[in-house]
Structure 1
Amino acid sequence: MAAIRGPVRRMRPALAAAALSFLALAAATPAKADLRLCNKTDGTISVAIGYKAADGWRSEGWWNIGGSKCGTLLTGALASRYYYLYAVDSQHGGEWGGKAFMCTRRKMFTIGGVENCVARGYERTGFFEVDTAEQRSWTVHLYQPTQKGNGAK
């Protein structure tokens, strides 16, 4: 084993204090809280979300999430207990849906309100409910889709 030659330098007190402050700040930073969706199929799926916002019900879409990948639908701490999702696998067929009807459209969208979707020029789509149990962060895993029901687990 070779000997280390040269002077041994000590960390300056100010630099050491700065390093400790950085480490303390990093440790105090809260964990990231998001609503995430993991696609457990081998195809890309398109996902829409519905939720109660400060100004009423809102639906948004589309997030395209590749096979065996996860994506973030909402960033930050979750403000509600219940969220609603609809997903479709247009490559292989099938959907994840439910009985909570909200408005969607084929292109990217943010739509306020859930009433009179068709009269307002949107599609009326059945979303399935996700109960986050009032957690700050939640991940939904989607497995094989079904044409008529809820494929979420």
Structure 2
Amino acid sequence: MALSRRDRTATAHVLECPGRRRRSGSSPALAGAAVLAAGLLPAGAAEAQFVVCNQSLDVVNVAIGRDAGDGFSTRGWWIVGANRCATTIRDELSARYVYVHAEDVFGRPVLYGSTDMCVGAKSFEIAGTEACFQRGYRPAKFLEVDTEAVPRWTLFLSPRS
């Protein structure tokens, strides 16, 4: 999974966008680009604080993990269609790191990370990251996304080239 960053002074690095430079790495299913949304979103879009955009041709199920101040929690599922976006965190980002797990409709991971957290079979909100099976959930690997402590961030999932 390749991540590229953009700030107000840097050149945009968005995967699969015509007319822009491209930077990608290899991953088994998807390559992604994390792009700072500050300065890219229209003024009326200020309520969207962490957005996941699916630039692949497949439907992706997304779960988000974060430290809300009183410990880690996970939440999901957002079903993100091909060439669609989902706002996964609406409030301003309070922690520097957001954790993302994405899988295809068959439950196979399409985003690869190393942080262990829990997910549910259906819509869920889970406090804590330990003892997933004992609490009726399943463990999943989440990718740590460094938002560089900015209030808004967009993560783009793109097909591997």
- Return the TM-score normalized by structure 2: 0.67
Larger Rg: 1
Please state how far the C-alpha of 1:92 moved relative to its aligned partner.
Answer: 10
The match for 2:102 is 87
Please state how far the C-alpha of 1:54 moved relative to its aligned partner.
Answer: 2.7
Match of 1:64 among 74, 79, 85: 79
Please state how far the C-alpha of 1:37 moved relative to its aligned partner.
Answer: 0.5
Structure 1 unaligned residues grouped into runs of 5+: 1-28, 146-153
Q: CA RMSD in A?
A: 2.3
- Give the match's secondary structure for 2:53: strand
- Give the match's secondary structure for 1:95: coil
The match for 1:113 is 128
Q: What is the percent sequence identity of the aligned residues?
A: 37
Structure with the larger helix share: 1
The match for 2:7 is none
Whole-angstrom distance in 1 between the partners of 2:82 and 2:48: 23
The match for 1:14 is none
Please state how far the C-alpha of 1:144 moved relative to its aligned partner.
Answer: 2.4
| Structure 1 residue identity aligned to 2:135 | R
| Structure 2 residue identity aligned to 1:45 | V
CA offset digits 1:28-76 (Å, max 9, x no partner): x994451001001012111000000132110001000110011100012
The match for 2:62 is 47
- Give the match's secondary structure for 2:134: coil
Whole-angstrom distance in 2 between the partners of 1:131 and 1:142: 15
